[in-house]
A and B are shown apart, each in its own frame.
Chain A
């Protein structure tokens, strides 16, 4: 596998860096997405503890009704 890129391997804090990369090609978007998925797969394969933690955690709390009528933000 080539270099593993996770979220944190990209500079996502610098506005200047972001501005320079606004013109992303579709191929580049696909590559970035593929890199992240591969990195996550690699992490899942090597860290049983982290994998189990993520699989056991259900952040989704089902709403019986209308989200905008709860505290949650709309949409």
Chain B
């Protein structure tokens, strides 16, 4: 059984205002690896990290300050009404800024735009718990008392919408959000929509400056983050930064998730082209053998079938290997290609608002699978979409924060900070202001790479590889898990799913021959995720 990593950040505060607690000073009980401060009001624990973003925690009597990254920016953001904080404050650098006053029993936690560290919150029994690890929220909780949000369940299963949490009373602290606790009252405050919401009214900028803007971000990040490694997939986006830095004579240490079978061979050819063109050191490939790295394999290895977050990385076992490799090389930050899809393509508000007219209409008219019950259909019909505007337009690319939530803990646990230079908020907003003409099919990114003479298999690939073939090869293991978890299913017991009809459905999918356009396997994986979680709450 694998040793589970302690959380990077954990905090617990009492929500019951007790005059007797007033005046209780913070006591420093830090260890070699963690800042730990305690008082009658609560406990805050944060891993010590020296590389950027460095963590900090210090007290003065009843006042405690903690967090990571640029403390000054965090302080500026947290010190004024959230609606008045200029967007510029959020997008310059990373920060998480926390302040806890045990005398007045107040807490403020302010997030930046990038939200690299996942952060979850839950209120229960006169206490509020915050952690980067979702399962930590439920320590000591009677799980049978945890309510399930069936609207969130339906939204997730049907639309892969992860804005709301399965467990009632839990929340995610997203982009620029502020958490406050004051005299026992908890509030999660949301910022204004970010500037992308008004980009159509901005003056277009000339695309000739794109190269300079991109390289300025790369250079700034290189200086900021120190010992950098690169995740390289063989695709366009993740090749950009390592190609640039290699051409500047920098040491580029790279690692890849290696696909199996036909797609794997095509991917390896692209990686080999990159290695021939650029001096990439120790390009380390984790072979995604289906028998070893199938979805949920990490949970079998860890013998842990408890609560997990819906976002949990399907390929966590492989991510652990990559993180351990980077850690062994002295790497403290990993650059990924996340955000490249958004950076140089055309994005409209219709696409990024889950409540946009188009998206709501598509969801309302979506045909439901035959295995769902009338109760499920009624939930779909009655889903309340009116209250979803409390998720503002993010300052960075739309998918980045959810990617961070699913993926980043694995690396942060091993002191490797995941960074997405292509999702830099200022660069993203700049690129969105270039004429749409130039953002067709990532034209500017291809032009940039072409100018640097990246391999043609990267800039103008004849094939695109994805995880479809790998997941097809994992079907024996996924089928076994479905057989195991959907015998006496919790979803069926809740009256949401016809078990026999569903078994026929998934058996048909598992037995089907390979078809890259058949995405039912992802639907089955979502159902498995929900079923595993529902069992954990019982």
Q: Report how far A37 CA is from B160 CA in the complex, Å.
A: 38
Q: How large is the interface on B (under 10, 10 to 19, 20 to 34, 35 or more residues)?
A: 35 or more
Would you give the shortest CB distance from B338 to chain A, in whole angstroms? 6
Of the candidates B341, B398, B441, B456, which one forms a contact with A13 in the assembled complex, judged by CB atoms under 8 Å apart? Answer: B456
B537 an interface residue at 8 Å Cβ cutoff?
A: no
B383 an interface residue at 8 Å Cβ cutoff?
A: no
Annotate A43-75 by CB proximity to B: 1 below 8 A, 0 otherwise.
Answer: 010000001001101111011111111111111
Q: Report how far A7 CA is from B315 CA in the complex, Å.
A: 36
Check A72/B466 contact, CB under 8 A, given A59-B440, A64-B402, A65-B406.
yes
Would you give the shortest CB distance from B515 to chain A, in whole angstroms? 11
Contact B233 A63 (CB under 8 A): no
Q: Report how far A14 CA is from B314 CA in the complex, Å.
A: 39
Instruction: Report B-chain residues with C-beta under 8 Å of the C-beta of A54.
Output: 436-437, 440-441
Closest A residue, CB atoms, query B450: A7
Q: Report how far A41 CA is from B313 CA in the complex, Å.
A: 42
Most chain B C-beta atoms within 10 Å of own C-beta, residue among A12, A13, A22, A71: A71
Q: Report how far A41 CA is from B206 CA in the complex, Å.
A: 10
Q: Report how far A30 CA is from B451 CA in the complex, Å.
A: 7
B150 an interface residue at 8 Å Cβ cutoff?
A: no
Check A68/B407 contact, CB under 8 A, given A58-B351, A73-B467.
yes
Q: How large is the interface on A (under 10, 10 to 19, 20 to 34, 35 or more residues)?
A: 35 or more
Annotate A1-42 by CB proximity to B: 1 below 8 A, 0 otherwise.
Answer: 000000100101100001001101000011011101110110
Within 8 A of A (CB), among B193-242: 207-208, 210-211, 231-235, 237-238
Of the candidates B267, B342, B347, B443, which one forms a contact with A40 in the assembled complex, judged by CB atoms under 8 Å apart? Answer: B443
Contact B345 A60 (CB under 8 A): yes
Annotate B490-511 by CB proximity to A: 1 below 8 A, 0 otherwise.
Answer: 0000000000000000000000
Contact A55 B466 (CB under 8 A): no
Check A36/B451 contact, CB under 8 A, given A54-B440, A68-B313.
yes
Q: Report how far A64 CA is from B402 CA in the complex, Å.
A: 8
Contact A37 B467 (CB under 8 A): no
Contact A64 B522 (CB under 8 A): no
A interface with B by C-beta (< 8 Å): 7, 10, 12-13, 18, 21-22, 24, 29-30, 32-34, 36-38, 40-41, 44, 51, 54-55, 57-60, 62-75
Across chains A and B, which 6 residue pairs bring their CB atoms closest together, nearest first? A75-B238, A75-B337, A60-B345, A54-B440, A33-B451, A32-B451
Subset of 7 A-B contacts with CB under 8 Å: A22-B453, A60-B342, A64-B402, A66-B403, A67-B341, A69-B313, A69-B525
